[in-house]
């Protein structure tokens, strides 16, 4: 099955191809010649993911999916949430975002947080939503330099190391994005079985 992944991020494309496996041929927006940014102006991951998938479906008329993710910190009322990429300002700056988070959490005993991903799939014109979460806790200082974004301050439940310290393979097994993508894969595989 051919699918467009509405992302400009080549790492996400590789991760999604690994998870979905050989039954799926993914194409990125770049491969279709689209190099612009699709806006994510909404107040929820669901709305943002759907907006991107709808944009692509309307433009290319091909089966497609998109994702939107972020970190939700309990003590901050689920912030930074959809603002995760721009928490510290309009410029997308991971180090500034992470420092702002640590400052806001400095005297906060409740460290509970979760990463959440919503994947929106449009298959033959019909919309489907898949969600993935990973629960954990925010550290008091960055640990490790692997991964990206908030990885150095997030310890998944059941572990003592941050996503910035854990091997990539471990993160990719546990992650919110992987869970949502696996749910989509299972849905698509059973859909194909029923419809072929």
Instruction: Tell me if residue 68 is catalytic.
Output: yes
Q: Which residue has the tokens 């770049």?
A: 30
How many CA atoms does the CB half-sphere of 30 hold within 13 Å?
6
Give the nearest residue (CB) to ligand IMP.
149
| 100/191 with CB nearer ligand IMP | 100
Q: 170 to each of 70, 163, 165, how far by Cα in Å?
A: 19, 9, 10
181, burial (CB in 10 Å: exposed 0-12, middle 13-18, buried 19+): buried
Q: Which of 18, 68, 145, 186 is catalytic?
A: 68
The pairing of strands 25-28 and 2-5 is parallel
Among 50, 56, 70, 88, binds ligand IMP (CB under 6 A): 70
Choose one: 27-35, 55-63, 64-72, 122-130; the region binding ligand IMP (CB under 6 A): 64-72
Site string for ligand IMP, 122-161 (x = CB under 6 A): -------------------------xxxxx----------
Coil, strand or helix at 134: strand
**Which residues bind to ligand IMP, rule: CB under 6 A?**
68-71, 84-85, 97, 115, 147-151, 163, 175
């Amino acid at each position: 099955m051919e699918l467009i992944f509405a992302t400009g991020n080549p790492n996400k494309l590789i991760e999604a191809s690994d998870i979905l496996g050989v039954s799926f041929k993914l194409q990125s927006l770049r491969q279709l010649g689209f190099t612009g940014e699709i806006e994510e102006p909404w107040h929820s991951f669901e709305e943002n993911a759907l907006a991107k998938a709808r944009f692509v479906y309307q433009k290319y008329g091909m089966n497609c999916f998109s994702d939107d993710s972020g970190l939700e910190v309990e003590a901050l009322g689920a912030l930074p949430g959809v603002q995760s990429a721009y928490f510290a300002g309009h410029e997308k700056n991971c180090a500034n975002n992470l420092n702002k988070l640590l400052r806001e959490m400095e005297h906060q005993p409740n460290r509970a947080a979760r990463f959440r991903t919503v994947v929106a799939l449009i298959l033959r014109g019909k919309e489907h939503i898949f969600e993935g979460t990973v629960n954990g806790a925010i550290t008091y200082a960055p640990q490790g330099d692997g991964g990206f974004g908030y990885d150095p301050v997030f310890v998944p439940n059941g572990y003592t190391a941050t996503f910035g310290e854990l091997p990539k393979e471990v993160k990719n097994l546990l992650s919110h994005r992987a869970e949502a993508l696996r749910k989509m894969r299972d849905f698509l595989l059973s859909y194909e079985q029923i419809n072929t």
